[in-house]
Structure 1
Amino acid sequence: MNIILIADEYIPLSRKVQPKMQHELAVHLVNEGHNVTALMPTFRKEKLRETIDGVDVIRYKIGVNKNTSKVRRLISELSLSRKAWKGFKNNYCLKPELVVYFSPPIFFGKLIQKIKRKYNATSYLVLRDFFPQWVIDQGMIKEKSLIAKFFRHYEQISYESADKIGVMSPENLKWFNQYTCNKYKNITEVLYNWVDKSFLEPIAPNKDFRRKYNLESKTIMIYGGNIGHAQDMMNIVRLGAGLQHLTQVHIVIIGQGDEYELVESEIKRLKLENITLLPGVSQNEYFAIQKISDIGLFCLHRDHKTHNFPGKILGYLAQGLPVLGCVNSGNDLKELINDSGAGLISVSGEDSKLLQNAINLIHDTDGRENMRKNSLALLVSCFSVDAAATQVIK
């Protein structure tokens, strides 16, 4: 089958989890005998055409759409469908049979419609984020504002362009069907995030990291990924403040995002010497550091109404790290991790509970070893790339 993957960023320059997931899916499909092309934008000096692990990558130029102002990002993303279509026409010679597109962003709908009309292809929307609803929930824009209506227009085009839609969890499925008044109920299913553990196996642990930051005897809690409003990283900053009396533990935050400077200034203001904040690194560098860590951290803003499943958790599970974090109330990720014995999850804003969970993990080394085994078991049972690929192409 000729398959096109469409998203807004890709490896190797992107350091986020979603591009890694996209590539793992693409490689898995290639290994199953499919012809897979990744059609991706770039504002960097990257090759516009290359093959990575058997995946044909076509890039097209757009304006800066990452780590920039919201206005500049919007202007750039509005051009995605138009410029992607041009890049597709000029470089793709096969007849596509399946288009797999990822959201966010919400602006690929018109492109998908054009490809489907011209080639009679089918489409699968991998829906990982309910934008603009989450920014409305957090008060960043108003429900009935013109900008909200503008975003909802493109959101609906994205949904209407799909033959199948995959959301992240059962609670997300319930929420989405209610949110869309069951309009897409017959084509929407749960598609869990995925990870290919084999991609991590060749990466050697970065043992020098502990020496470099004087962490040889420390229990390392690691956070890797986006540092933005949706995460509410102050949860982790407050956790660090609460753990200052435990000199054997250290928090390492590695990432990028529009609240990086806010987190940095708060760490300095509180004089938190037990938190090290580092800018984003390559995927291989990050996983090499993760391999010498003891506990995986994550957090979600408590005002979310939808039930996000941060992709970074898959990396923790694949490495056998106990997961420590906090989520918005009602998020079924809390029960999934707690009930499987893979970690300890609380509700965002309940700082005392998060702190107590952290202390329990720090002191209970035997419990962490059991969680390591449970993490690997949960990964195999729910989050394999093989299961995801089977759903997408069926």
Structure 2
Amino acid sequence: MAAKMFHELALELIDQGHDVTIITPHFEKCEPTLIEDRLDGVAVWRFLSGQIKDVPKVKRAINETLLSHRAWSAIQGKVDKDSFDGVVYYSPSIFFGSLVSKIKKRCQCKSYLVLRDFFPQWAIDSGLMKEGSLIERYFRFFESTSYRQANTIGVMSEKNLEIFNSNTESQYPTTILRNWANLSPHYLSDKEASLRERLGINEEVIYFYGGNIGHAQDMANLMRLTRAMKSFDDAHFLFVGQGDEVKLINDLMKEWDLTNCSYLPSVSQTEFKDILAQVDVGLFSLSAQHSAHNFPGKLLGYMVQSLPILGSVNKGNDLMDLVNANQAGLISVNGDDDVFFDNASKLQNDAELRKSIGASGYRLLEKEFAVGNIVHSIVEALSHPQ
């Protein structure tokens, strides 16, 4: 989802008259250390990295730690003082601080951190990491390095801003920067194969979850809903993506004998958009253990397609207030399984309600999350005199 968002950001920057270069890893050892190409008018520099997805945690940590070193080794010969007027970087990952520092120093420019994940805090909240441990201190070092390189840090909501400033004693320059999306819906071409044919289903209402399948999402929460919805013959749940809890959902499908759901591995952005154009409800979950208040980027994809949003979040998350108040979805607190099921049942039984909520979601997208407004905010921050 981050790749999709940054691609849309890059295209909007180009539309507004800027030149854009994306620096991102590639993982093909047989390819050159640096691959240069273009995608939709965007220059892309791909530097060779070790794998950071679907590998053991220690190996992933080592490879992520080396991201800045490997990136700079690959691109430094191409960067001079006139190469860049600003740097926009994204967290996660927390390991690009050193690279940003080197580019800023050589180009004498400012930087903007789009902060979308309070790691390692969420891992501590979820019990995956012990507070005060050596590994926590290790990650905290790189987290603070990343923050220190930013002239502006954009977090996604008011409560996230409060939490971040409280946790960091307001030592960093922060602002609210919503997630964003292009406002143009995707329409399925007649040549594309039907998703329903692929899944072997007909008139079922399809509840779709697409993106990272990991601890932060609490996939067991979605699987409990899937099990509860077995009472409806015409409800089907589709999970698409990669992550640490893929095994969990596949195991629960077998253990609970769930015939009302399917899993597919990650797909290309084009395929992802094709799927969004054919499903009925956009599904998401956030772990009840989170202290941060995330706005998952996948929700914007749902809004673009005027899909009603169905989800559950950690207690106090202002995302619930925003979406529910604007009638853009039905969001409950993670752990309130009965409410989650009731909300799903409402959408299951009422096609007009699904249509109405989906339309409200698109209006909320226009109001709060248009990529053009986001680009204006970022460029203004980068252009402000130091």
1:166 matches 2:154: yes
Shift of 1:201: 3.0
- The answer to whether the 8 Å contact 1:125/1:159 transfers is yes
The match for 1:239 is: 225
Which ranges of structure 2 fall in alignment gaps of 5 or more residues?
381-386
1:50 aligns with 2:37: yes
Q: Tell whether the 8 Å contact from 1:241 to 1:272 is kept in structure 2 after alignment.
A: yes
Structure-2 residue corresponding to 1:178: 166
Quote the Cα distance in structure 2 between the aligned partners of 1:180 and 1:193: 22
1:328: which partner in 2?
314
CA contact (8 A) 2:283 2:310 kept: yes
Q: CA deviation at 1:207?
A: 5.8
Percent identity of equivalent pairs? 43
1:9 aligned residue: none
**DSSP 3-state at the match of 1:256:** coil
Report the CA distance between 1:114 and its aligned residue: 1.6
In structure 2, relative to structure 1, the CA distance for the partners of 1:33 and 1:203 (3 Å cut) is: farther
Letter in 1 for 2:24: M
Deviation, structure 1 residue 277 = 1.2
Q: Which runs of 5+ in 1 are unaligned?
A: 1-16
User: Contact conserved, 1:58 with 1:91, CA < 8 A, in 2?
Assistant: no
**Cα distance per residue 1:98-131 (max 9 Å; x no partner):** 0011111111112211222222110000101001
Q: Is the 8 A contact 2:186 2:274 kept in 1?
A: no
Residue in 2 that maps onto 1:10: none
Aligned to 1:29: 13
Q: Is 1:227 equivalent to 2:213 in the alignment? A: yes
CA distance in 1: counterparts of 2:12 and 2:199, whole angstroms: 37
1:376 is aligned with what amino acid? Y
Q: Which one-letter code corresponds to 2:139 in the other structure?
A: F
1:141 corresponds in structure 2 to: 129
Residue of structure 2 equivalent to 1:103: 91
Amino acid at match of 1:175: I
1:379 and 1:352 map into 2 onto residues whose CA distance is 28
Please list, as runs of the form range in 1=range in 2, the aligned pairs for 1:1-394 lying within 5 A after superposition: 17-44=1-28, 48-92=35-79, 94-184=82-172, 187-198=173-184, 200-201=185-186, 203-204=188-189, 208-394=194-380
Normalising by structure 2, report the TM-score. 0.94
Structure 2 CA distance for aligned equivalents of residues 293 and 59 of structure 1: 33
Distance (Å, rounded) in 2 between the aligned partners of 1:375 and 1:281: 25
Quote the offset at 1:203 in angstroms: 4.5
Separation in structure 1 between the aligned mates of residue 265 and residue 100 of structure 2, nearest angstrom: 35
Q: Does the aligned pair in 1 maintain the 2:158–2:176 contact within 8 Å?
A: yes
How many residue pairs match? The answer is: 375
- CA distance, structure 2, for counterparts of residue 273 and residue 77 of structure 1: 38
Matches of 1:89 and 1:151, distance apart in 2: 25
RMSD: 1.4
Q: Aligned partners of 2:16 and 2:45: how far apart in 1? A: 21
- 1:207·1:292 contact (CA, 8 Å) conserved in 2? no
Question: 1:82: Cα distance to partner?
Answer: 1.2
Aligned AA (1:316)? Y
- The structural deviation recorded for 1:32 is 1.4
Q: Distance in 2 between matches of 1:316 and 1:31?
A: 24
2: CA distance between counterparts of 1:53 and 1:353?
A: 43
**Deviations along 1:166-218, whole A, 9 cap, x unmatched?**
0011110111011111112xx211111101133x4354375622123232211
Alignment correspondent of 1:12: none
Deviations 1:234-270 (A, max 9, x none): 1111111111111011111111111101110111110
CA distance in 1, matches of 2:281, 2:287: 20
Q: Residues 54-103 of structure 1: CA distance to partner in whole angstroms, max 9, x if unpaired?
A: 11101111111111111111111111111111222133464211001111
Structure 1 pair 203–386 and aligned structure 2 pair: CA distance change class (3 A): farther
